[in-house]
A and B are shown apart, each in its own frame.
Chain A
Amino acid sequence: MEEFVQDLVSQLNVETVFTIFHFKIFESVVVTWIIMLIMVLIAAWLGHGLSVQHPSRRQAAAEVIVTKLDALTEGMLGAKGKQYSGYIATVLLFLGFANLIGIIGLKPPTKDINVTAGLAIMSIVLIEAAGVHARGVKGWLKSFAQPIAIVTPINILEVFIRPLSLCMRLFGNVLGAFVIMEMIKLVCPAIIPAIFSLYFDIFDGLIQAYVFVFLTSLYIADATE
């Protein structure tokens, strides 16, 4: 039992991979780099040698992926938030990869609260920037007193609550799934983890990726309306 707990704790801790000028680089950041490398390599492979009139199969697949992603993100963002679809699609793909990377034995970076916090901060910055861009500074400030002035404090609180909920939801779900999967693996290392992995790693991972970008898009659509 003692051994089990120690093992679990070591799995849960975010380890420092290396240190640069007294700055500790966490393994979540290193795994993020690995995911970025994979994504960029795939993107570069899909996006090179394009032809307008004679698309290859690879290009056709790439066009389908981009078109579907754009349709999905633009549908969530609304007409005025269209321009942010590239970022939303990138985050969706990144979270998809990040949450699924547990399958190949790496620790999902979204298990580290610093990563989900970073994502949430980016989201709230984008949401408020989109609001300022769409309404102007005055309109953006006025939007805090809508629909009635009395909700202004709540609206201001929302600026902090929204990213916090985004951050904690993602972190909690991935961490929870990770803990359960580690426990199952420690109890029964064969076959059973594979079955549960289908739900906790693949299904829940993708759902959380979708929920994160869906909520971010919803907030952007709300801010730009």
Chain B
Amino acid sequence: MDTVNVDLLHFDVFNLICTIINLLVLYWLMMKFLFKPIRKVIAQRNAEIDATYQDIKTKTEEAQSKNKEADARLAEIEQNRKEAVRKAKREANEVYDSIIADAKKQSDEILEEARHDTKLVIMEEKQKAKEEISTMIEDASLKISNEKSDQELYDKFLKEMDE
């Protein structure tokens, strides 16, 4: 059988360099077309997600602080309201008391006046009565001068009137 010459370990520098250049070009193209853009997109998405989470955290904190602020303001308003009600009550009481006092004073004055007026009227009436009675007495005395038998009777009557 003939010997078969197979040159399996044939090194060829040109083809070896070609392979190295091929690899470098392939690496460059793969990085340019696949790895870099995909990694960039993933990194961008992760950054966006992180930013969103950060944003949510900040907004939650903001909302919580605003809530607290609002609670504090509410409490303050409630306090003010109570204070105002208390003040209004106190003022109303004062006004009430003063009105009552005025009214009492006025009513006292009216009463006093009324009493005074009544007294005057009574005195006037008494005076009138006196005058009328004296007139009557005069009239009667005129009649009595005509009828002497009843003299004693009239005297007695006048005494009683004076009393």
Q: Output the least CB separation between B8 and chain A (Å).
A: 7
Measured between beta carbons, the chain B residues less than 8 angstroms from A25 are 15, 18
Question: B14, B18, B34, B44: which contacts A46 (Cβ < 8 A)?
Answer: B34
Question: B20, B25, B38, B45: which contacts A66 (Cβ < 8 A)?
Answer: B38
Q: Is A215 an interface residue (CB 8 A)?
A: no
Query: Which residue of A is nearest B42, CB measured?
Result: A63
Q: Output the least CB separation between A183 and chain B (Å).
A: 14
A36 touches B29 (CB 8 A): yes
Within 8 A of B (CB), among A28-85: 28-29, 32-33, 36, 39-40, 43-44, 46-48, 50-53, 55, 59, 62-63, 66-67, 70
Q: Is B127 an interface residue (CB 8 A)?
A: no
Within 8 A of B (CB), among A94-138: 94, 109, 112-115, 117-119, 121-122
B31 touches A86 (CB 8 A): yes
A36 touches B38 (CB 8 A): no
Do A43 and B29 form a contact, CB below 8 Å, given A24-B14, A63-B38, A66-B34? yes
Measured between beta carbons, the chain B residues less than 8 angstroms from A47 are 33-34, 37-38
Do A70 and B39 form a contact, CB below 8 Å, given A29-B22, A52-B45, A119-B23? yes
Chain A, interface size category, equals: 35 or more
B22 touches A33 (CB 8 A): yes
Question: B9, B20, B33, B38: which contacts A113 (Cβ < 8 A)?
Answer: B9
Query: Which residue of A is nearest B30, CB measured?
Result: A90
Chain B, interface size category, equals: 35 or more
Q: Output the least CB separation between A209 and chain B (Å).
A: 14
B12 touches A26 (CB 8 A): yes
Measured between beta carbons, the chain B residues less than 8 angstroms from A202 are none
Q: Output the least CB separation between A1 and chain B (Å).
A: 8
Measured between beta carbons, the chain A residues less than 8 angstroms from B14 are 23-24
A40 touches B15 (CB 8 A): no
A63 touches B23 (CB 8 A): no
Q: Which of A53, A114, A117 has the most CB of B within 10 A?
A: A114
Please name 30 pairs of A and B residues whose Cβ atoms are closer than 8 Å in the assembled complex, sorted by A: A9-B6, A12-B6, A12-B8, A14-B10, A24-B15, A29-B19, A32-B22, A39-B26, A40-B33, A43-B29, A43-B30, A43-B34, A44-B33, A44-B34, A46-B34, A50-B38, A52-B45, A52-B48, A53-B48, A63-B41, A66-B42, A86-B27, A86-B30, A94-B26, A113-B8, A118-B18, A118-B19, A118-B23, A121-B16, A122-B24
Using CB atoms and an 8 Å cutoff, list the residues of chain A in contact with chain B: 2, 5-6, 9, 12-14, 23-26, 28-29, 32-33, 36, 39-40, 43-44, 46-48, 50-53, 55, 59, 62-63, 66-67, 70, 86-87, 89-91, 93-94, 109, 112-115, 117-119, 121-122, 175
Q: What are the nearest 9 A-B pairs in CB distance? A: A118-B19, A43-B34, A43-B33, A66-B38, A114-B15, A44-B33, A47-B34, A90-B30, A114-B16
